[in-house]
Amino acid sequence: MTTALITGASAGIGNAFASQLAARGNDVVLVARDEERLQKLAAELRAQHNIAAEVLAADLTDTGALARVEARLADAARPIDTLVNNAGFGSNGLLHELDVDDETREINLNVVALVRLTHAALGPMVARRAGGILNVSSIAGMQPTPRNATYGATKAFVTSFTQSVHEELRGTGVRATVVCPGFTRTEFQERAGIDSSRLPGFLWQSAGEVAAGALDALERGRAVYVPGTMNRMTAGFVSVLPDSVTRRAAALVIKFSE
């Protein structure tokens, strides 16, 4: 039996990853701050899929809690075969009007925790010459994102970082994939203070669609996976247009959604 550790597993895409990994026969280690939600999800997954589900409640912006998750990943006696770095959050507004401590916390979760957990997982995986890491980024990381400046920058880091690690792992038997979703129906927008009700339905995907495609991409050894036709078109346009165009277009989309 293989084991997957999923951060941000209590809701949204993380919940979908946990459910689909369990359905594919993996034991799971569920990581998030909300222990009550995690315990409920763990009970559901045990009952539905006859797998082991471990709960590890942790705020990954807390150094002590982060260290506990790193230790779990590094535990050779209880190997983790797949790490899904999904935990993260965004903020919305003009940078100079936002709380800088919240912005720093966003960087610590979206970037620092992801790097430390990836590092902790890779040692045992490379030693076993098997394993996979799936890092959740965003198409927001492919262009400047006015009013989401910190979020977009953290996701740009995740995309670049994961592609570099993917290449470093060539020939080791270990895979690393970054998934870059677009608008996905989760609690993310509400928590970020974004009213996205005016955006048309065709722009949206479900968390289940994103998770299923990402897991398939990891299994195939892809470096980057952009789910959804509209998102792939957006990524293609962004790659050839100058930043002066993409940053203004991004600002208009955010303004329209508010």
Nearest to 139 by CA among 181, 191, 100: 181
Element (H, E) at 161: helix 149-168
Catalytic annotation, residues: 151
pLDDT tier, 159 (very low <50, low <70, confident <90, very high otherwise)? very high
Burial of 190 (0-12, 13-18, 19+ CB in 10 A): exposed
Residue matched to tokens 């038997």: 173
Contact in structure between 46 and 68 (CB atoms under 8 Å): no
pLDDT digits (tens, 9 = 90+) for 11-31: 999 999 999 999 999 999 999
Give the other-Cβ count within 10 Å of 103's Cβ: 18
pLDDT digits (tens, 9 = 90+) for 40-99: 999 999 999 999 999 999 999 999 999 999 999 999 999 999 999 999 999 999 999 999
Q: Could you give the C-alpha distances from 58 to 31, 134, 168, 172, 189, in angstroms and in order?
A: 6, 19, 29, 30, 22
Q: Could you give the C-alpha distances from 148 to 14, 92, 93, 142, 244, in angstroms and in order?
A: 21, 5, 7, 13, 16
